[in-house]
Amino acid sequence: MPDKVIRIAIAQINTCVGNIPANTDLIISKIQEALDKYKANIIVFPELTISSYPPEDLLLRPAFHKQISQAFELIQNKVIGIDCIIGYPEKTGNQLFNSCSLLRDRKLIATYRKQILPNYAVFDEKRYFNPGKEACVFDFMGIPTALSICEDIWEPGPCAQAKSAGAKLMININASPYHVDKISLREKLLRERVAESGLNIIYVNLVGGQDELIFDGGSLAIDHRGNVRFHAPQFQEGLYVIEFSSGDNGCFSLPMDIPVQSLSKEESIYQALVLGVKDYVYKNGFKGAIIGLSGGVDSALTLCIAVDALGRENVDVLIMPSRYTADMSIEDAKTITETLGVQSHIISIEKLFETFNESLKPLFSDMPKDITEENIQARCRGILLMAVSNKLGKLVLTTGNKSEMAVGYATLYGDMAGGFAPLKDITKTSVYKLAGWRNQISPVILQRIIDRPPSAELRENQFDQDTLPAYDILDPILERYIEFDQSPEEITKAGYDEKIVQKVVTMVDRNEYKRRQSAPGIRITQRAFGRDRRYPITSGYRE
């Protein structure tokens, strides 16, 4: 008997949470494309495709589920001549499941309900969903095929259950968010499942930005020997076709040419940042972005990301010098905008600063100047940026990095003013690495910007290191304390000065109130501020 070969279309698509009509149109168009263009036997979509991921408390709204039900019915009626695996929130009585269903010739053939509900880091599925309990194995052109959803593949139970039910092929649909080195972690886990079960696995992942989260795609197929036979690009939408043969224990082949992608660490982070900015701006209905350009490396890198994400014509720059701004800073800011072809405007904050000082003089006359006057300058800039944002319908991108946000080296309602923070999870040392990588594409960020000691330029001869440890010391301490949850004692034993460690830890702890009011930003690490790291503002705890 000849081997049976099935053609599988992997729909690595970018959907928008809650935009059920647009998601439905996209799903239907991909079903038709897979059938007409690629002659596929089945098309597989990511986790919770109809609603997109994560829908969060939209799942608590009855009207939301009514729309989901209507969309599911519409999709089901469009499935003719091709099978379809679609993910969606399934409301059944008083229970809600994270489900996927097999549709065939306008009929619902089988449904699988996610069994392992993640409830850590950015995941909160136990808040909403009930766990499924049973395997779902169906006959697909003579090949026993199982379904599973995302976290089900991270533990051995569901694969073993499917194998016991006779499965030969496992299709696992995902909304797996990006963090650094996530691709290698996924491949390691899939090889473990293969070693335990002997299954061939197809892993289909969502792509796109959703608030802080980036879904990087990178869908793949791994055979029963643990060999990766297919890998879709990261950060790109696409409809990818692979074939699976029933011979022996099964094998994969590629009928279409799919370029092999190999991204460096900096390149993958940069692409994640670009995708995150693009989707946040456009999915939220803004016309583009506004950036306050200081002449420093953080704002320069943010500008590059914005231009690469949105196009130069959709980005506006304000250069807002004060009495403390070095001529070099203005010159470098102007040079970057000219190199990138971005429209820029120079607006001095000097008159605004003087007006605020004059208005406050009766209150402050007997008091020495301090950080108050520094923060007033930052807040003058925030007012200008938000005014231009309101007038042009463009989103202000803040330019602060994770190192600054960790220790509170930022001004509330000043340089923190804005709608989205691309570098919020990027340390200062990583900013320099990303700037160097971006300059390899085209030399945009002047070397003297990278080489200059960083400064907020809010007083004479001010440098970051007047207040903070050097970033090559600060960032490793922050990583140990924030990402690895090490105690000050453990960090000190690793070779760091005890007084510096205590100073840094104290600054991190006391600035939670600032971070809680900061703009959302793109998650790159496994302990980003916000969704990952949740600490009380009011707390008497000290280490």
As annotated, the active-site residues are 47, 114, 150
Distances from the Cα of 342 to the Cαs of 263, 307, 397, 418, 434, in angstroms?
Answer: 28, 8, 15, 19, 20
Q: What strands lie across the sheet with 251-253, from one edge to the other? A: 107-113, 95-104, 83-92, 42-44, 5-12, 238-245, 251-253
Distance, CA of 286 to chain centre: 19
Task: Give 28: exposed, middle or buried? Use CB within 10 Å, 0-12, 13-18, 19+.
Answer: middle
Query: Where do the H-state alpha helices sit in 153-296?
Result: 156-164, 182-197, 265-283
| 315-319/289-292 β-pairing | parallel
Containing H/E element for 129? none
Backbone angles phi and psi of 211, in degrees to 5: 55, -120
My answer on whether omega of the bond before 54 falls inside 30° of 0, hence cis, is yes
Beta bridge partner(s), residue 208: 215
Beta bridge partner(s), residue 289: 315, 395
How many CB atoms within 10 Å of residue 41? 19
Residue carrying the six token digits 């460690």: 501
Distance from C-alpha of 503 to C-alpha of 501, rounded to nearest angstrom: 5
Query: 217: Cβ–Cβ under 8 A, 6 or more apart, which residues?
Result: 12, 205, 206, 207, 232, 233, 234, 235, 236, 237, 238
Residue 419 is given by DSSP the state: S
Give the orientation angle of helix 156-164 with respect to helix 182-197, to 10 degrees: 40
| 42-44/5-12 β-pairing | parallel
Task: Return the structure tokens found at 453.
Answer: 């000691």
Distance from C-alpha of 473 to C-alpha of 403, rounded to nearest angstrom: 11
